Structure 1
Amino acid sequence: MKSTINFKNIFFLFFLILLSVSCAEEDYELGEITAPSNLDVNAQVVGQSEEMPNGDGSGNVNFTVTAENAMTYKFMYGDGSEEVSFDGTTTHSYSENGVNDYIVTVVAYGTAGASTNTTTEVTVFSDFSNPEVEQLLTGGDSKTWYVAASQPAHLGVGPATGENMNNPSYYAAGPFEKAGEDISSCFYTDELTFSMNGGNIVYNYNNNGQTFFNAAYSPDFGGTGAEDECLDYDSGGAMNVSLSPSGSGLTEGQTTGTAINFSNGGFMSYYIGASTYEILSITETTMHVRAIMGNDPALAWYLKFTTTPFDEQQEGGGEEEEFETQFEDLLWSDEFDGDALNTGMWNFEIGNGQNGWGNNERQYYTEDNAEVVDGNLVITARREAESGFDFTSARINTMDNFEFTYGRVEVRAKMPEGGGTWPAIWMLGADFDEVGWPATGEVDIMEWVGNNPGRTSSALHYPGNSGGNAVVGDTQIQNATSEFHVYEAEWTEDRITFLLDGEVYFTFENDASTPFNKDFFLILNVAMGGNLGGEIDPAFQEASMEIDYVRVYQ
């Protein structure tokens, strides 16, 4: 894709000429236009030393630019990529292997678009490679990717740091959400092909003549700027692609640590002014990426891709057939009909674990916070001091008492009320004590938070997709705290399907590579605060999750 900066400058010059004429005729005075001065560029090659004068091989260079009267800075890195910085600091990854020289141009923009520019030369050594990602991206020869329209959060936006990678907090598109906005023809049908050519990766973007533009950029291509738009646009043909360290600071469980760099302003299906995309996760058939929006470094846009074309994703996408379970025989259940919890089946977990059970939770679990009342299990979270914590609650599991492989779990429950509550119905692998987490695998049948009472979610945690990078699906729910709902998970060797009141809202494709093909045990708990529970309402005193029954069918 060609840069638009020259067109912008021409337009701006024309605008200034017209404005000058108008002011002369009307005897108005034009405000002072000040070009930046004393433009200074400092480039520090990461890992530079006497032994390695051109860096440590990461290809990373830290840039710091200062100028008087500058508002923004534009970097043209000399490798076909560009970036805008508001504070003049940035890090760029050069991915061409070996020792290479680059001429970097920096433009400082002042009031009314007045600019000053300078150049500097950097010499950088890079030896980065990620053969596994390269193989998955290209298939070793050529592979075509499509927007994963059928998956939740296939397009989303959230903060650039501290984000749940699979459920962006500012916005996450629902399955096929854009199909009803006449956008599917320029978004969902895009073909993104990555091919190997003599050891290099080549990218072909077939947009069928139109591209889906973010509203901030659509005016540059003839749009209104009032909203995201489909606009006629030549995708530009083949371009080179390189891989580099992502350098985003995300944890190992959140990212592959590898970024895709596109030459000539290339991008992935949704135009946001970025040409570098971090690969959060990638398999043979799915890829999850994110990019920092070109004019707002505080925002990250998230995209999910699949190797399944849009028309195949749509098959059966009309009126959904009623779900038919594979499991009809009741294997095990607890109807909570007695006077007390069956401790021969359920184990209490006591305490706060390590760092709030790894989630910064603020409650202390006790045996006193779970009881059986009128045919229901009642787990109550309370604001009360215990062992140095300000809240108590309960967490119980069936580890070593009841464990199973494959089946349908059905739980009828009513949620606690109050900001900061975080109840969950979930499962862990029975080999948890041997292999630890996330290697053991985690299936969250239901997670709900009092700070977002209109939604409920399910998640899968396993190596490469755990914590904030878990595979997540969610759906709307009404009256979660005043009415009982049935939360279900149907688990087979091929897929795990999640349902709310009998309606499917999320499906995970299971296979032999996941840990979800062995015995698991059940867990019930109500947490307070923590990474997902969020801020606790200062007025909160106590609230309970009530469970009518837990049933497992095979």
Structure 2
Amino acid sequence: MKKLKYIMVSLFAVLMSCDGDDIDIPASVLPSNLTVSAQNMGGGVVNFTASATNANYYHFDFGDGSSALDTSGEASKTYDMIGDNTYTVIVTAGSTEGKKISETLDVSVSIAFSDPETVAFLTNDSSKTWFLAAAQPGHLGLGPAREGIDGDWWYPKWYSASAFEKCGSDDSDCLCDDELTFSVDATGVLSYTLDNKGQTYFNVGHKAVVGGAADMDFCYDFDTTGSKSVVLSEVTGNVPEDQTTGIQMSFSDGGFMGYYVGSSTYEILSISDTELYVRTYDTENADLAWYHKFTATAAVEGGDESLETIYTNLVWSDEFDVDGAPNPANWGYDLGAGGWGNGEAQEYTDAADNVIVEDGVLKITARGSGAVGGAVHYYDDITLIATGGETLSVQDFESSAPVFTDFGGASTAVIDNPDASGVNTSGTVAESTKNSGAEVWAGSFFDIAAPLDLATYSSMNINTWSPATGAVVRLKIENQANSEEFFEVDATTSAAESWETLSFDLSGAPAFNYDRVVLFFDFGVSPTGGAAYTSARIKSENLFEFAYGRVEIRAKLPSAGGTWPALWALGANFDEVGWPATGEIDIMEHVGNNNNTVSSALHYPGNSGGNAVVGTTPVETATSEFHNYTVEWTPDSIKFVVDDQLIHNSFVNNATTPFNSDFFLIMNVAMGGTLGGAIDPAFTEDTMEVDYVRVYQ
């Protein structure tokens, strides 16, 4: 309707014009003498000035898809594309009668990438030193490069400190001494210095740089003294947004971050005040990406610094000098089964059989009930089957037993065949026990020397013995070097308390290198019933809670396989903020499957579970004699020592961590689980004895 009205008015004006009465239509005038100038103001800002005779307006097409209309002939444009870019700008001068002329000019704009937040994290606004997170999983990782098969994203396999043992081997310990310092001057220029104490850990593919002869990664005399400039830029390539900050660092003059793979450019995966993850690509093998994890907290394992305490005033203690139950003014109990997320096998009680003060010491005793306490399955003769019937044995458990890794509350061991009949009369088999309270995904795995030949063999048979029909058995085959490369298939038991052969179809497995066999029995089920193991966990929650001080606990530890004693502290606000936001301070942990090595750990957001800040130290008589386990906790640091000797784990505390509010003490003995591991089948009982607990401020 609006368009029709406009047409009718226009026609009326034309008709009136034809009469020639009282209407004076000006002649159409073409603008002329158009001149255009551009002034680059820096920072992406360009000011434009245009002028022309008989022009009523100016239209600016800035060459990046944006434009502006102005009557004065002046316009300002801020370009934001990073780098050196040239834009073709078209300026049009026009009159009211639709006459117009245009001029074209090229404008070059240079914009340096900047990210103040990243610079602040790297430098703490002036200078900050970073260290390899050698005590944490992920300090050195290997994964395929940015683009995997058919463009799929591949994730790295992270390695723990114990897996690579970089700090415990003469071939590689130089990597753990590196200090990486980022600095920013008053003008905002970012620089970087690597102090590698004169030695560099070289990837074997780059040994020619130093004339290396070894066919393995090795530490060589290679000094990197000198400052390098650092340029931040946007990451390019097939990089998922949720897996990167989108920022990369490029160092001048061949600068690198500790491990030499020929690269001077590092993509920042994540960054915070205390942690830096980066990824770089091997210049000799474009298919490989190396992952490094650094920390500003300088966690140190096996240090040589002695503790000089600042806390000498005893504010709280329990000397355990009154026989009977623990003093209720000092201690309460955690009761229940499962270990609250660790897949442990015990049930915690307040019974005297599990916790008592006797003969001047506190005794926390884990006991085996002798009951099954869960579900037990047996398996044997893992065999690959070809379409034509050809077979290949993967594992028969008859010669040397594989090394099992248990998880989720399951435990696995090779035992004598308890039912040598039917389809399986062999002498030894694998026993998988899924303890009461275990996770629904509890299971175990073992590694094999060579990848499964799935080009020849399309299925796998496994002899199994189950206590009931209808139990789901899940087989997972996996690549040790890349946990994202796996294939899973289920089978269901049809026989109870007798051997049967289950077949797993592997024909649909992707073409990966499968050299790990994972088995889950009763998948999706958490066993119930009487606990096979009982123990105790006591705590000072709501009775004694404190912030900062020196905690000293004198204890003798259990030694049986599967025991997991711990002396630790938990944030008092855990019921409000949850774990790990509440923070956890593990003063001492020990596992009977690795006797006489104790550890300490700090759990907090970004560093929890298997990613905690961990330090270990050998204590030759930890299970036969009493030793003092100490933490010194201040607003600036947290340090762990044994017997008042050398610090074996040190953490730089600050206002951003959860270690600045009240905590309470906990003492317990767990069985099995994620750290305790396999429980000795012959286990009956074992005890942690505590002589005293003292807190100084």
With structure 2 as the length reference, what TM-score do the two structures score? 0.49
Tell me the CA shift for residue 168 of structure 1.
4.6
- Provide the residue aligned with 2:614 in structure 1: 472
In 2, the alpha carbon distance for the partners of 1:225 and 1:189 equals 22
8 Å CA contact 2:365–2:687 kept in 1: the answer is yes
Change (3 A) 1:478 1:293: farther
8 Å CA contact 1:246–1:258 kept in 2: the answer is no
In 1, the alpha carbon distance for the partners of 2:197 and 2:622 equals 46
Task: Work out whether 1:451 is the aligned partner of 2:593.
Answer: yes
8 Å CA contact 2:129–2:296 kept in 1: the answer is yes
| Superimposed CA distance per residue, residues 191-214 of structure 1 (whole angstroms, 9 cap, x where no aligned partner) | 554769999x97656679976133
User: What is the DSSP-based 3-state SS (H/G/I as helix, E as strand, rest coil) of the residue aligned with 1:358?
Assistant: coil
User: What is the DSSP-based 3-state SS (H/G/I as helix, E as strand, rest coil) of the residue aligned with 1:499?
Assistant: strand
Task: Work out whether 1:212 is the aligned partner of 2:200.
Answer: yes
Task: Work out whether 1:498 is the aligned partner of 2:640.
Answer: yes
User: What is the DSSP-based 3-state SS (H/G/I as helix, E as strand, rest coil) of the residue aligned with 1:343?
Assistant: coil
Tell me the CA shift for residue 239 of structure 1.
6.2
- Provide the residue aligned with 1:342 in structure 2: 327
| Superimposed CA distance per residue, residues 149-184 of structure 1 (whole angstroms, 9 cap, x where no aligned partner) | 9x856995578778686x45331527xx97xx9986
The residue correspondences of 1:37-436 to structure 2 (distance < 5 A) are 132-139=117-124, 143=127, 145=129, 147=131, 157=140, 167-173=161-167, 188=177, 193=182, 212-221=200-209, 222-226=211-215, 228-230=218-220, 232=222, 238=229, 240-242=231-233, 260=248, 262=250, 267-272=256-261, 276=266, 282-283=272-273, 286-289=274-277, 294=282, 302-304=292-294, 306=296, 320=305, 323-352=308-337, 356-368=339-351, 369-384=354-369, 385=373, 387-388=528-529, 389-436=531-578
- Provide the residue aligned with 2:101 in structure 1: none
Tell me the CA shift for residue 425 of structure 1.
0.6
Tell me the CA shift for residue 467 of structure 1.
2.3
Tell me the CA shift for residue 146 of structure 1.
5.1
8 Å CA contact 1:281–1:464 kept in 2: the answer is no
- Counterpart selection for 1:529 from 638, 649, 672: 672
Larger Rg: 2
Change (3 A) 1:514 1:347: same
8 Å CA contact 2:559–2:591 kept in 1: the answer is no
Change (3 A) 1:291 1:497: same
Tell me the CA shift for residue 303 of structure 1.
4.7
- Provide the residue aligned with 2:482 in structure 1: none
In 2, the alpha carbon distance for the partners of 1:144 and 1:342 equals 47
| Superimposed CA distance per residue, residues 54-92 of structure 1 (whole angstroms, 9 cap, x where no aligned partner) | xxxxxxxxxxxxxxxxxxxxxxxxxxxxxxxxxxxxxxx
User: What is the DSSP-based 3-state SS (H/G/I as helix, E as strand, rest coil) of the residue aligned with 2:163?
Assistant: coil
8 Å CA contact 2:297–2:653 kept in 1: the answer is no
- Provide the residue aligned with 1:107 in structure 2: none
In 2, the alpha carbon distance for the partners of 1:209 and 1:472 equals 24
In 2, the alpha carbon distance for the partners of 1:350 and 1:478 equals 33
8 Å CA contact 2:141–2:157 kept in 1: the answer is no
In 1, the alpha carbon distance for the partners of 2:366 and 2:620 equals 22
| Superimposed CA distance per residue, residues 241-283 of structure 1 (whole angstroms, 9 cap, x where no aligned partner) | 446699999xx9xx99777465898641221466546656631
Tell me the CA shift for residue 487 of structure 1.
0.6
Q: Which stretch shows the higher mean deviation, 226-235 or 472-481?
A: 226-235
In 2, the alpha carbon distance for the partners of 1:501 and 1:277 equals 43
Task: Work out whether 1:549 is the aligned partner of 2:692.
Answer: yes
User: What is the DSSP-based 3-state SS (H/G/I as helix, E as strand, rest coil) of the residue aligned with 1:169?
Assistant: helix
Tell me the CA shift for residue 514 of structure 1.
2.4
Change (3 A) 1:272 1:547: farther
User: What is the DSSP-based 3-state SS (H/G/I as helix, E as strand, rest coil) of the residue aligned with 2:566?
Assistant: strand
- Provide the residue aligned with 2:580 in structure 1: 438
Change (3 A) 1:518 1:305: closer
8 Å CA contact 2:306–2:644 kept in 1: the answer is no
| Superimposed CA distance per residue, residues 383-411 of structure 1 (whole angstroms, 9 cap, x where no aligned partner) | 33375344322111111112222222111
Over the matched positions of the two proteins, sequence identity in percent amounts to 41
- Provide the residue aligned with 1:15 in structure 2: none
User: What is the DSSP-based 3-state SS (H/G/I as helix, E as strand, rest coil) of the residue aligned with 2:655?
Assistant: coil
- Provide the residue aligned with 2:656 in structure 1: 513
What is the identity, as a one-letter code, of the residue corresponding to 1:268? M
Change (3 A) 1:153 1:338: same
8 Å CA contact 1:422–1:526 kept in 2: the answer is yes
User: What is the DSSP-based 3-state SS (H/G/I as helix, E as strand, rest coil) of the residue aligned with 1:268?
Assistant: coil
| Superimposed CA distance per residue, residues 111-159 of structure 1 (whole angstroms, 9 cap, x where no aligned partner) | xxxxxxxxxxxxxxxxx9986445302556x74645469x856995578
8 Å CA contact 1:280–1:288 kept in 2: the answer is yes
| Superimposed CA distance per residue, residues 424-483 of structure 1 (whole angstroms, 9 cap, x where no aligned partner) | 111112222222222222111111122222421112222333223322222222122111
In 2, the alpha carbon distance for the partners of 1:449 and 1:358 equals 18
User: What is the DSSP-based 3-state SS (H/G/I as helix, E as strand, rest coil) of the residue aligned with 2:675?
Assistant: helix
Change (3 A) 1:268 1:401: same
In 2, the alpha carbon distance for the partners of 1:279 and 1:547 equals 44
What number of residue pairs does the alignment pair up? 406
What is the identity, as a one-letter code, of the residue corresponding to 2:363? V
Change (3 A) 1:209 1:428: closer
Change (3 A) 1:416 1:241: same
User: What is the DSSP-based 3-state SS (H/G/I as helix, E as strand, rest coil) of the residue aligned with 2:667?
Assistant: strand
Gaps of at least 5 residues in structure 2 are 1-80, 86-112, 144-155, 374-435, 437-527
User: What is the DSSP-based 3-state SS (H/G/I as helix, E as strand, rest coil) of the residue aligned with 2:692?
Assistant: strand
Change (3 A) 1:164 1:523: farther
8 Å CA contact 2:365–2:669 kept in 1: the answer is yes
In 2, the alpha carbon distance for the partners of 1:344 and 1:245 equals 61
In 1, the alpha carbon distance for the partners of 2:649 and 2:297 equals 19
In 1, the alpha carbon distance for the partners of 2:297 and 2:587 equals 27
User: What is the DSSP-based 3-state SS (H/G/I as helix, E as strand, rest coil) of the residue aligned with 1:451?
Assistant: helix
User: What is the DSSP-based 3-state SS (H/G/I as helix, E as strand, rest coil) of the residue aligned with 2:668?
Assistant: strand
Tell me the CA shift for residue 500 of structure 1.
0.4
- Provide the residue aligned with 1:32 in structure 2: none
Change (3 A) 1:518 1:223: same
Tell me the CA shift for residue 367 of structure 1.
2.0
Q: Which stretch shows the higher mean deviation, 128-137 or 223-232?
A: 128-137
8 Å CA contact 1:427–1:522 kept in 2: the answer is yes
Change (3 A) 1:524 1:296: farther
8 Å CA contact 1:157–1:168 kept in 2: the answer is no
